[in-house]
Amino acid sequence: MLSKKAQYSLYALVHLAKEYKNGPVLISKIAEDEKIPKKFLEAILLELKTIGIVNSRKGKGGGYYLIKNPEKVTLVEIIRKFDGAIALLPCVSDMYYEQCRNCNNEETCGIRSVMKEVRDTTVNMLSNTSLADIIRREENVLH
């Protein structure tokens, strides 16, 4: 399950993606529209700024804006940033591998085999889904 931080980051980024090239958006506007606690959103946006996905502008007309094209921001990038491993078990994680304590042989473990398939499918889908794809899906549902 995604953490609240990962969920809120996705909501905020989709919001900013909809405003891509339209200028900065106030934190209070994002927080209100997406039902995200403002203080929590501030922390999330600062983290997204440090990894180079968003930037901010101070003063009148200020706020946060996407600096990466929405087509180039993938869900896997965001989820890994906030939640770490995508895998359900550490023995199948690409980036956070740990040997299972209970497993006698990883090569023949049926549970590991299934969980590796789940991880591969999930990572593939999240890697091939961008913020722009999310917006297109929302538009398809509305029409």
Residue 143 pLDDT exceeds 80: no
Instruction: With cut-offs at 50, 70 and 90, classify the pLDDT of residue 94.
Output: confident
- Which two three-digit tokens encode residue 27? 């934190």
CA distance linking residue 74 with residue 131, whole number of Å: 6
User: Which distant-in-sequence residues (6+ apart) come within 8 Å of 6 by Cβ?
Assistant: 78, 79, 82, 83
Q: What is the DSSP string of 55-86?
A: EEE-STT-EEEE-S-TTT-BHHHHHHHHH---
- pLDDT tens for each residue of 103-131: 888 888 999 999 999 999 999 999 999 99
Residue 41's alpha-carbon distances to 17, 38, 72, 89, in angstroms, are: 16, 5, 22, 29
Instruction: With cut-offs at 50, 70 and 90, classify the pLDDT of residue 63.
Output: very high
